[in-house]
Amino acid sequence: MRTAGNREVVITRRYNKARERLPHYHREIDEKLELFRQDPMHPSLRFHELDHTKHKGWWAYYVNMDIRVIVSDQDDSWVVCYVDHHDAAYQWAERRRFTIDLTTGSYSLAPPVDEAIAATAAPDEASAVFHAPLSGYTPEQIMRLGVPDRDWAERLTKATKEQLERILVQALDDDWFPEDVIERLIHLKDKTKSYRELLPPQVSILMPSELMRRHPRDFWSPESEQEIRKAVQRGWQEWIIFLHPAQREAVERDLKGAIRVGGGAGTGKTVVAAHRTAWLATQYPNEPILLTTFTGVLADNLKQRVEQIIGSLYGTGIEVVNLHALARRLFAQQLNRTEAIVEDQNALLEQAIREVNSPYTLAFVRPEWETIIDPWQVRDLETYLQIERVGRKMPLQRKQREELWQVFERMWRLLEEHHLTTFSALCYAVAEYLNQHPEARYRCVVVDEAQDFGPAELTLIRALAPTDLENALFLCADMRQRIYRPAVPWLRFGIDTRGRSYTLRVNYRTTRQIQDFAERVLPEAIEGVQEDETRILSDRPIALMHGVAPELHGYENIPAEMRGLKEWIYRCLNENIQPGEIAIFARSENALTPVETMLRDEVSHERGIQARRLKRDTMPVPHEINYGTAHNAKGLEFRAVAVVQVTAGHFPNYAAIKDVVDTAERKAKEDQERQLLYTVCTRARERLYISWSTRRSTFLPNQ
């Protein structure tokens, strides 16, 4: 590894955050960083030690006559910590102390404790008695959790609940301590884990550079100028995928039997799926490994993440493809079947209703076909009379089923006559082939977004992987984000994850304010959970990011709502949020039409910024504002998200519930609509904007 002045150059995440706030100086900042890495003593850098700071070891170099970069002297490393305008940069160094504990492998970039505590505006302790959540622990015990500064450890044991919460929020915002240390303190404060469970492995670090290599989420040592350019152009969280210790534990689980990883939005399930795939490739280098998910866009996203970890997939045994595309390919290649997937099932169902002169309407027949008959491949009346109605709330009497069966029997015949099939039938056919030809299976199968797969897909997933080998099946899912199909018990398909489930509890994507708002949108109870999922759903994610509250705006009509949306877009752009980091979603195509018109006729004309319509197979691009229906938000993330026309007619969607007469089934549909709104809201990392005109949706919580 190349070094500067016989030292390794290490870049902190704090530096990159500071750089993002200086967009007009990026080119100069990046050029000087490359120069510093090559030759820190180059005359143009004027690299010098700061003699007047309270804590020694701080240095600085010039970007230009105004911008300064702050560097810490750490024996075998130059640690690039901060960049800002002249006075602000030096003031930052004056208020910081870089503390490293080589015996525990932890660090701190916090200010002196007395100064930091004073800045948190503590409550008047003389007016009431405040409980200190960590008072039962000694400073030494707190230090064993990763707080390397004794003054800080002692003060944390004395902090009231209100003080402690403010301290931890500020510590996250300003990167005072590693994220995993703050996570342990939050667990300890909330009593969600015991002290013994939270103790990290004890290590002994010889040099600071070794400590920094143990914290890849916080420090990075570039090996070339090209790596620096790649990093700063794509952003700290984009150029490589980091693993939190809890995520790594999930990735490297080595067990026989299906493994399940759960967690709320933003907890890194997709990151875990990508790393699990890469890890499996090292364990079974000559074996076929499948990484699959719900849509083509999600599969493309997963492939990019895996390639960020291990490079090109060419020459590896890894295949990344969405399940529907894989099933179609195997259906044609392995089974040599030529039936096409039926595109308009409603037309055939209506024809079947007419031909048997059924008294039932399409609105009554279609949910039964989509929830029971087709997903479970019910092919005869006897099976229909006995089948458990998983996913449907409406009970049917024997006579009703006998009458309805005439329609479904005719529907199956119509499909055969037109040389058509359904995707469910295709999945079952491929699964049967794999069960008869186990040599065609993958050695390992990793599934992301597994909560939205129904009976046919789960049957296929089980058949794709061996049943008797370790690490064969790994599923990531969150039932809070189930937006397509009713939940079905995985045990029915031989997918037993009991005793092999893992919960991710730390939310890295969305701010605490966005998470709190989105969770209040959810139904009171998530129905249809798996056998081991009650505990998983009860573990509320810990949001490590702190930000601004979501914006909620009501308008008198749609034109006024679009004017408000345009103003919000311009505010985001003025705050250096790039067009590709902005997304707008609506529940339906009709609700999206005025958005599309405004973006085309006004934003494009006034700012020269194009808009990109997101679909199931359309990926976002950097320089265009994204927009699409709520379902197209699945699996994506953006710095700023707007959800428009959140009215009583769109959430819940009138078309989805208008024909539902059964009270329990209507409630289930509305709950699914709530989960869709939750999923859309949690696509936002920093900014969330909600708007409506006329009738506000009852799903929206009061602020």
For residue 492, is it within any domain?
yes
What is the reported pLDDT for 232? 53
Q: Do 12 and 86 belong together in one domain?
A: yes
What is d(CA 599, CA 487) in angstroms, rounded to the nearest whole number?
37
Buried b / exposed e along 639-674 (16+ C-beta atoms within 10 A) = bbbbbbbbbebbbbbeebbeebeeeebbebbbbbbb
What is d(CA 451, CA 537) in angstroms, rounded to the nearest whole number?
13
374-379 long-range contacts, Cβ below 8 Å, gap at least 24?
Answer: 374/422, 374/424, 374/425, 375/424, 375/454, 375/455, 375/456, 375/485, 376/455, 377/424, 377/425, 377/428, 377/456, 378/408, 379/412
Name the amino acid, one letter, at 198.
L
Place of tokens 């008047």: 124
What is the reported pLDDT for 360? 93
**Boundary-marking domain end, from 481, 512, 542:** 542
What is the reported pLDDT for 3? 47
Structural domain tally of the chain?
Answer: 5
For residue 699, is it within any domain?
no
Q: Do 327 and 445 belong together in one domain?
A: yes
Least confident of 116-130, 296-310, 581-595, 689-703: 116-130
Q: Do 90 and 108 belong together in one domain?
A: no
For residue 1, is it within any domain?
no
Query: Which pLDDT band, with edges at 50, 70 and 90, does 248 fall under?
Result: confident
Q: Do 531 and 486 belong together in one domain?
A: yes
For residue 660, is it within any domain?
yes
Q: Are strands 58-62 and 67-74 parallel, antiparallel or unpaired?
A: antiparallel
For residue 701, is it within any domain?
no
For the segment 224-231, the average pLDDT, to the nearest whole number, is: 59
Q: Do 502 and 397 belong together in one domain?
A: no
Query: Which pLDDT band, with edges at 50, 70 and 90, does 119 fall under?
Result: very low
CATH no. for residue 513?
3.40.50.300
Q: Do 653 and 625 belong together in one domain?
A: yes
What is d(CA 451, CA 461) in angstroms, rounded to the nearest whole number?
13
- Answering whether pTM is above 0.85, one says no
* pLDDT score of 228 more than 70: no
Q: Do 536 and 635 belong together in one domain?
A: no
Q: Provide the domain limits for residue 660.
A: 548-693
Q: What is the pLDDT of residues 641-657, one digit of tens each?
A: 999 999 998 999 887 77
For residue 700, is it within any domain?
no
For residue 698, is it within any domain?
no
* pLDDT score of 25 more than 60: yes
For residue 209, is it within any domain?
no
Q: Do 386 and 435 belong together in one domain?
A: no
Q: Do 113 and 135 belong together in one domain?
A: yes
**Boundary-marking domain end, from 498, 522, 542:** 542
**Boundary-marking domain end, from 542, 569, 590:** 542
Q: Do 305 and 451 belong together in one domain?
A: yes
Q: Do 534 and 574 belong together in one domain?
A: no
Q: Do 161 and 219 belong together in one domain?
A: no
CATH no. for residue 70?
3.30.2310.20
What is the reported pLDDT for 128? 37
